[in-house]
Amino acid sequence: MAKSSVLGYPRIGADREWKKALEAFWSGKLEESEFHSQLQAIRLNHLRKQQEKGIDFIAVNDFSYYDHILDTATMFGIIPKRFAYEGGAVPLSIYYGIARGTKDATASEMTKWFNTNYHYIVPELDGANPSVTENRPLIAYREAKEKLGIEGKPVIVGPLTFLKLSKGYHQSETDAWLERLVPLYVQILQELEHEGVQWVQIDEPILVTKLDAEDVQRLKSIYDTFAAKVPNLNIMLQTYFESVENYSDIVTLPVKGIGLDFVHGLTGNIASIKKLGFPSDKVLGAGVVDGRGIWKASLRDKLVLIEELSGFVTPDHLIVQSSCSLLHVPVTVQNEVKLIPDLKNALAFADEKLDELVLLAKACSDKASIEAELEKCDLAIQALKLSGERNRNDIQHAVAIISEEQPKRNLPFSERHIAQQNKWQLPIFPTTTIGSFPQSVEVRKARQSWRKGVWTNEQYASFIRDQIDIWIKLQEEIGLDVLVHGEFERTDMVEFFGEKLGGFAFTQYGWVQSYGSRCVKPPIIFGDVAFEEAMTVEETKYAQSKTKHPVKGMLTGPITIMNWSFVREDITREQIAYQLAYALRQEVEALENAGIGMIQVDEPAVREGLPLKEQDQAEYLAWAVKAFRMTTCTVQDTTQIHTHMCYCEFHDMIDSIEAMDADVISIETSRSHGELIHSFEVNTYKLGIGLGVYDIHSPRVPRVEEMTSMIERALRVLDPKLFWINPDCGLKTRGFEETVESLRNMVDATQIARAKHSLTVN
């Protein structure tokens, strides 16, 4: 009989209990012992829920105090030297210092987890002397068994994936590092085997990316070693996010089970199984329920897929599971009381996916027993498909027309730049920020009062204007050249726009973890996207009226809105992007008509949507660039279009980023400045650019000397006439004092650079 399994469960809790505990501990409001106690209660509640719903294989060690990659690094004592680690179990002060920085030490780099909106802390191997500091999977296994009687399935990130996601070593050192890491994994696994653990899930998502022959040989060596050292331990080699590369090599590895993604990797994995079969001595972990999406699974379609897979594996060798960890979806639909019924009935968050998995596993041996659930599922999916929101002929017709065009600005950048410089008369190295300023408790309370109807629209608008007044004055005093209004009226850079566009819906409790305690509540794009009224003009126009400096209009771009939302599955992502671009173009035009001559269309998430398969990337980048240009191409030559991107491997996207044709791009880069600068040493970028000169994710205030050093290194490879100076991201989450002090230091660093370079530039 088929069994059910989950690869991981959301950490944050239905009401973000986890986030609240972390932030209370960081602020000194929670003692460490109570902090541990609260997190244990959250963790056990998650395990108990899965147990009660009937999941057969429940993941343990999927819970984290911040990030699972950071957990793996600290478990092996891989601590950057600057944190003065002296061995043994890693204290929380160092653990959180690596993630967030301290007064004296910068945080480690943070980057996206494959092609998701989750971000992990990048391990730094340089100078590390790894050893096992504590066996986290064993501790988690014992806790689940002792407290709840659960025979848990410990989860650990595999050595090849861990090494590939780390930095601080040369490629030629790969084998040497595996020789140091693999024995530590063996120690962990031997202790689990000795404890009587039945199954261990070793996550190797790197196997869905392109591997060379050397990596394949390394993989074989790793798992041959495991098989020899822990022969009685059942290892589930788990992959996700796409179809595996090198299928024929992977299925011959000496492991008991192999987990494959049959949602995002359906086409490739099915093709491989049909062509090469599946080993009769292995268990297939069939990831048939989407761990990243929020839509109810078509149970009938999933049963057809499972029946197809059953032609290659026997029922006792089949585990029905989520396609990846449920980390990427909200906890439960049950608490959402404000969604329209047709939409709510078509949703499935983490808890509902648990139910789907149990039903599908049951149906493998008794399909008739779930016929009522199958019919209910069919009706829910069909009702949404036929809804008016998904059938806006006016939108579909307009988007079909403009998507046939090749959008471009009237003049090339070289000519626009001259016209814009004549208009704005900016100094060399113009200074600006990315858009948002600190949202204080006062700001959040004001928004709540307005949303609850305690404040009138005019009271709230007056409050927002007061905040704008404060920060326009502050920006002038600090000495910034291009100002922003601060975005005090915005809860989130995607949610704000979604609330004002047609085709969107919003949950009350649909939070997911982005990084650390940063949780976001992605909108749901469930219908055709429609522009309904101007969204940003009022506040931006007001800010501009208060200063002679240019004020940037601030929008979130179509690709970021799409990638940071849960999107419908009945049309392509390309079609969704073009609908968003058409709506946002109308907002750009409204800003320009209101006299706003600098408009920033942020696209921090372009890289996050990049397909993992190289053969799919060019097509995605082509329509992503086209969507951005559709949004911005109709403005005047003197209107300066800015954009912002979070850190990415710039060298493999530089042509596409340049093709977006933004007049100025700012890039989040402070945690990995050297790597990005190296990209410019081998690539030329001919448009305006600002590299973030300090890290806004850390509460520390950077010194002037640090920023000066970053500026000077950038100027070695970038045209000083096109170089801007800015923080590396928005300042919404930072405190007032640290923000002002950091920006003053940034302006001081700029003045030093101007004094040094003014003669050579002019």
Asked whether 670 and 452 are in contact (CB, 8 A), the reply is no
**Annotated binding residue 564:** yes
**Annotated binding residue 533:** no
**Annotated binding residue 563:** no
Say which residue the tokens 């050292």 belong to: 229
- Single-letter amino acid, residue 448: Q
Using the CB atoms, write b or e for 34-46: b if 16+ within 10 Å.
ebeebbeeebbeb
CA–CA dist 435, 553 (Å, integer): 9
**Annotated binding residue 199:** no
Say which residue the tokens 């944190």 belong to: 83
**Annotated binding residue 661:** no
Asked whether 483 and 547 are in contact (CB, 8 A), the reply is yes
**Annotated binding residue 164:** no
CA 520 to chain centre: 10
Residues 6+ apart with CB under 8 A from 217: none
CA–CA dist 516, 667 (Å, integer): 21
**Annotated binding residue 675:** no
**Annotated binding residue 436:** yes
Length of the chain: 762
SS3 567: strand
**Annotated binding residue 16:** yes
**Annotated binding residue 668:** yes
SS3 669: coil
Asked whether 128 and 339 are in contact (CB, 8 A), the reply is no
How many Cβ atoms sit within 10 Å of the Cβ of residue 761? 16
Task: Look at residues 531, 664, 533, 544 and name the one whose alpha carbon lies nearest to residue 594.
Answer: 544
**Annotated binding residue 729:** yes
Catalytic machinery residues: 697
Using the CB atoms, write b or e for 440-463: b if 16+ within 10 Å.
eeebeebbeebeeeebeeeebbeb
Burial class (CB in 10 A: 0-12, 13-18, 19+), 488: buried
**Annotated binding residue 519:** yes
Task: Look at residues 761, 759, 697, 685 and name the one whose alpha carbon lies nearest to residue 728.
Answer: 697
**Annotated binding residue 608:** yes
| Sequence ranges of the binding site | 16-19, 112, 117, 434-436, 487, 518-519, 564, 602, 608, 644, 646, 668, 729
Instruction: Extract the annotated binding site for 5-methyltetrahydropteroyltri-L-glutamate.
Output: 16-19, 112, 117, 518-519, 564, 608
Enumerate the known binding-site residues for Zn(2+): 644, 646, 668, 729
Residue numbering of the annotated binding site for L-homocysteine: 434-436, 487, 602
> Which segments are annotated as binding site for L-methionine?
434-436, 487, 602
